[in-house]
Amino acid sequence: MLEIKNLVFGYDKNSPVLQGIDMSLEEGQVGILLGRNGAGKTTLFKIMTGALKPDGGRILFDGQDLLQMSRRQRAGIVAYVPQQLDFGSLTVYQSVLTGRVSYYTVRPSRKDLDVVDEILCETGLDKISCRDVQELSGGERQKVAIARALAQQPRVLVFDEPTGNLDIANELLIINEAKKIAHSKGIIVISSIHDLNQAMFFGDKFFFMKDGTIKYFGGPETFDEATIKDVYGVSARVVTENGEHYIQYYKEKENE
């Protein structure tokens, strides 16, 4: 179980970005952070992956505080799939192997190689494992980034804007992949998605961020007209069709 307790952070003292974030997720759950640009989603991810140090609060995984751990210990629990997919000129295999860099110095051990092999087969990357990552399509690169994160054998997967640079087919492919990973391996996935329909389809639990706090959270029922209006300032209604929910944006009539 992942619990974030009263997390506080500011780039400088006068403008706090996170003002007490509280949230929790169970094993195998997909949690989605929602909110406008600059709401603090990426900041929260950076704190979870160790790139930023918070001013206060705790991040507990099964009772252990991630913020007190060594880099290596934390890398074994939290893995990160970034929005920016740069790899340099490495093969797919080498890129995935970098996920295990905290386990070996120069020569990977048998176990490191076995883990990488297994993950390449699982993600279907084994057929292109000798290719240079720079030659691959956006969807394939996204898969490589996921595979690298999985090579860390994490318990929590932080997935920043997984669909940002993808076409709709790849978008669905990646979302399904991530969902499958969460449910089959019991990994907690925490992600941010701008498209509310995709978010509803992807997530189990939703967290709406505003003014540096989690203002609303819960299951799919959290999506309603008032919440969306408050968080995004946009008018939308939730339409239900064949038991599935959709969000439809509309233009408000201007009353004088």
Partner 1 sequence: MVRPLISDFRKKRLFTLGLLLAVIIMAIVCLFVGSSHMSVSECLKALAKKSSAANNRIIWNIRMPRVLAALIAGAGLSVSGLIMQTNLNNAMASPSTLGVSNAAVFGANLSIIAFAGGFLDTGNHLSNFDVGANPFSTSLMAFFFAVVSILLILGLCRIRSFSPNIVVLAGIAVGSVWTALTTVLQFYATDVGLSAAVIWNFGDLGRAMYKTDLIMFVTVFAGIITFIFLSRRYDALLSGDAVAISVGVNVRLLRFVSLLLSSMITAVCVSFLGIIGFVGIICPHVIKKIMGQEHLWSISSSALAGSLLLLVSDTLSRSMGNGSALPVGAITSMLGAPFFIAIIFRKGGRH
Report the nearest approach of partner 1 to the CB of residue 210 (Å).
25
> Any residues with CB less than 8 A from the CB of 132 and at least 6 apart, and which?
89, 90, 91
Instruction: Choose, by CB under 8 A, the member of 15, 53, 86, 241 that binds partner 1.
Output: 86
Q: Does 105 help bind partner 1 (rule: CB under 8 A)?
A: yes
Q: Does 120 help bind partner 1 (rule: CB under 8 A)?
A: yes
Stretch that binds partner 1, among 58-66, 80-88, 166-174, 224-232 (CB under 8 A): 80-88
Task: Write the DSSP assignment of 128-167 as a string of letters.
Answer: GTTSBGGGS-HHHHHHHHHHHHHHT--SEEEESSTTTT--
Tell me the per-residue interface mask from 196 to 235 with partner 1, x by CB under 8 A, - otherwise.
Answer: ----------------------------------------
DSSP strands (E only) in the chain: 2-10, 16-25, 30-34, 56-61, 64-65, 78-81, 156-159, 188-192, 205-210, 213-218, 236-241, 244-249
Give me the residues that bind partner 1 (CB under 8 A), please.
46, 49-51, 71-72, 74-76, 78-80, 82, 84, 86-91, 93-95, 97-102, 104-106, 113, 117, 120-121, 126, 129-130, 132, 134-135, 148-149, 152, 158
